[in-house]
Amino acid sequence: MVATALGEAARAAVGSACEVREATGDDAVDGTPAGLVARPADTSEVAEVMRASAAHGLSVVSRGAGTKLAWCPPPESADLVLDLTAMDRVLDHQAGDLIVEAEAGTPLAAVRSVVGEQGQRLVVDETTPGATVGGSLAAHASGPERMLAGTARDLLIGMTVVRADGVVARSGGRVVKNVAGYDLGKLLVGSFGTLGVITRATFRLHPAAETERWVSVPVADADAVHRLTHAVVHAQVVPAAVEVDLGGPARDAASGSFTVQLGGRATGVTRRADAVAHLLGGGAEVAQNAPDGWGRYPWAPDEVGLKLTCVLSGLRDVVAAAAGAGARVRGSAGSGVLYAALPVTAAGGVVAAVDRLRATCVARGGSAVVLQAPPDVERSCDPWGPVPALDLMRRVKERFDPDRRMAPGRFVGGI
């Protein structure tokens, strides 16, 4: 049985809103046991569930495919898990207008395949297999192609959210250009379910590349990563991605690689691939497919997963610091957003390593966030580091979720 004790009235209220079942051990959120699992079929059912949970003071954790539920600290409680996987429809694809609208529980892969049929693509990388639209937005996941078109934040043009009190709100719309009203979509991106439930999202699309190439070269150290990144981003090769993968499975620095993705028209891509190969120097190889592990996080489930950011002039220092800590580093060197996998040694050692890495990132204009970690490490280290404007963030949370029921404790400053 589950530890959470929910009153009969609360159960009945949620049960009358949509399909509900008792939670099992598998529904625990990063170790926090769940009470009920509700599986709404559409936005209006989500609204009804949220009204019921507001009336009965239930804490709520939204869940898509659950691929990133272990990210961030666990919620303090999870009376109700809102399983959004029944909301999995691509609602509208207007190829001529290059836009698509999908429900939050739709797998990114499904959206990509629908728009792909018309020669288009949603430039939001699927960084974990199965990841949904809503989860990717809430966790602000990003992969290699952020170089090309930014992240989901930059491609999102409209959103429907259900508030903690059950009110349904829309912002943005269905056109790529629109400045009417506040951009609430951006506020919800990366909010990890602490402000409301994302139920629908509309994105701007791009034409699919006619041809793609991946130009790779082995790299052994931070110096090389830094040098090559600058050579590529300041050249005229318009990379779709500039990725590093250093400190492979064997933690063998020499097995690293540096890869530039190019996309576009066949003639142009071939020419640019040659130019990139020249920039990367001896040993560069041009491939028709992405290398292994492309766009996936570098960590194993039992490792500490970090997101490290910096400005481009700080790349050498950050990569060196990560390598020095024994981490495997993978990510978008070209945009200064890297992911690092730190093996768990003694917990104290990990905390100190995170602190050192963070100091380096912050000094280089960025941040170091612990995305996932084993429970003992999670308890002993600060996952976020310095958060600018934390007080304002608290005020925003207080307005959107005054009773602090949406994924309590999962976000910055214990929000």
Partner 1 sequence: MTRGLDAVADLARRLLPADAVITDRARLRTYECDGLAHYRVTPGLVVVPPDAGSLAAVVAACNEHRVPFVARGSGTGLSGGALPHADGVLVVTSLLRSIREVRPEDQRAVVEPGVINLDVTRAATPGGYYYAPDPSSQQICSIGGNLAENSGGAHCLKYGFTANHVLSAELVTPQGDIVRLGTDAPDAPGYDLLGAVIGSEGTLGVVTEATLRLVRLPEAVRTVLVGFGSTDQAGHATSAIIAAGIVPAAIEMMDALAIEAAEAAVQCGYPDGAGAVLVIELDGPQAEVEAEYAQVERICREHGSTEQRLATDPADRALIWKGRKSAFAAVGRISPDYIVQDGVIPRTALPEVLRAIDEVSRSSGVRVANVFHAGDGNLHPLVLFDDAVHGAGEAAEEVSGAILDLCIEHGGSITGEHGVGVDKAKYMPRMYGEDDLDTMQLLRCAFDPDGIANPGKVFPTPRLCGEVPGRRKGVHPAQAAGLAEVF
| Residue ranges in 223-262 that form contacts with partner 1 under rule CB under 8 A | 230, 233-234, 236-238
CA dist 188 → 159, 371, 396 (Å): 9, 18, 11
Nearer to partner 1, 18 or 188 (CB): 188
The H or E element spanning position 258 is: strand 256-264
Q: What is the DSSP string of 51-112?
A: HHHHHTT--EEEESS-TTTTSSSPPS-EEEEEE-TT---EEEEEGGGTEEEEETTSBHHHHH
Q: For residue 258, which phi and psi values (nearest 5 degrees)?
A: -130, 125
Query: Within 153-192, which residues bind partner 1 (CB under 8 A)?
Result: 153-154, 161, 163, 167-171, 173-184, 186-187, 189-191
Binding residue count for partner 1, defined by CB under 8 A = 90
CB 286 within 8 A of CB 272: no
**Minimal distance, residue 265 CB to partner 1, in Å:** 5
Among 231, 312, 344, 347, binds partner 1 (CB under 8 A): 312
Name, in order, each residue with C-beta under 8 angstroms of 268's C-beta and a sequence gap of 6 or more.
Answer: none
**Nearest one of 308, 333, 382 to 223, comparing CA atoms:** 333
The structure tokens 């170091």 sit at 368
Minimal distance, residue 144 CB to partner 1, in Å? 14
Which residue of 13, 52, 201, 310 would you call a contact of partner 1, by CB under 8 A?
310
Q: Does 9 bind partner 1 (CB under 8 A)?
A: no
Determine which residue in the list 203, 258, 297, 400 makes contact with partner 1, applying CB under 8 A. Answer: 400
- The only residue of 16, 24, 94, 113 in contact with partner 1, by rule CB under 8 A: 94
x/- letters, 359..398, toward partner 1 (CB under 8 A)? --x--xxxx-x--------------xx-xxxxxxx-xx-x
* 41 versus 389: smaller Cβ distance to partner 1: 389
**Of 61, 29, 75, 72, nearest in space to 382 by CA:** 72
Please provide residue 197's backbone torsions phi and psi, each rounded to the nearest 5 degrees.
Answer: -105, 120
Closer CB to partner 1, 90 or 233, in the complex = 233
Q: Smallest distance from the beta carbon of 150 to partner 1, in angstroms?
A: 6
The minimum distance between CB 399 and partner 1, in angstroms, equals 4
Q: Is 296 in the site for partner 1 (CB under 8 A)?
A: no
Binding mask 347-366 toward partner 1 (x if CB under 8 A, else -) reads --------------x--xxx
Is residue 82 a contact point for partner 1 (CB under 8 A)? no
CA 50/CA 321 separation, integer angstroms = 45
Q: Which of 84, 196, 146 is nearest to 307 (CA)?
A: 146
The residue among 77 and 85 lying less far from partner 1, judged by its C-beta, is 77
Residue 85 identity (one-letter amino acid): T
The dihedrals phi and psi of 248, each to the nearest 5 degrees, come to -55, -170
Query: Of the candidates 174, 99, 85, 171, which has an alpha carbon nearest to the alpha carbon of residue 132?
Result: 85
Shortest CB 296 distance to partner 1, Å? 18
Q: Which of the stretches 37-45, 148-156, 244-252, 342-350 binds partner 1 when contact is defined by CB under 8 A?
A: 148-156
Kindly state whether residue 412 participates in binding partner 1, applying the rule CB under 8 A.
Answer: yes
Q: Residue from 16, 24, 113, 313 that binds partner 1 (CB under 8 A)?
A: 313
Q: Which is nearer to partner 1, 23 or 384 (CB)?
A: 384
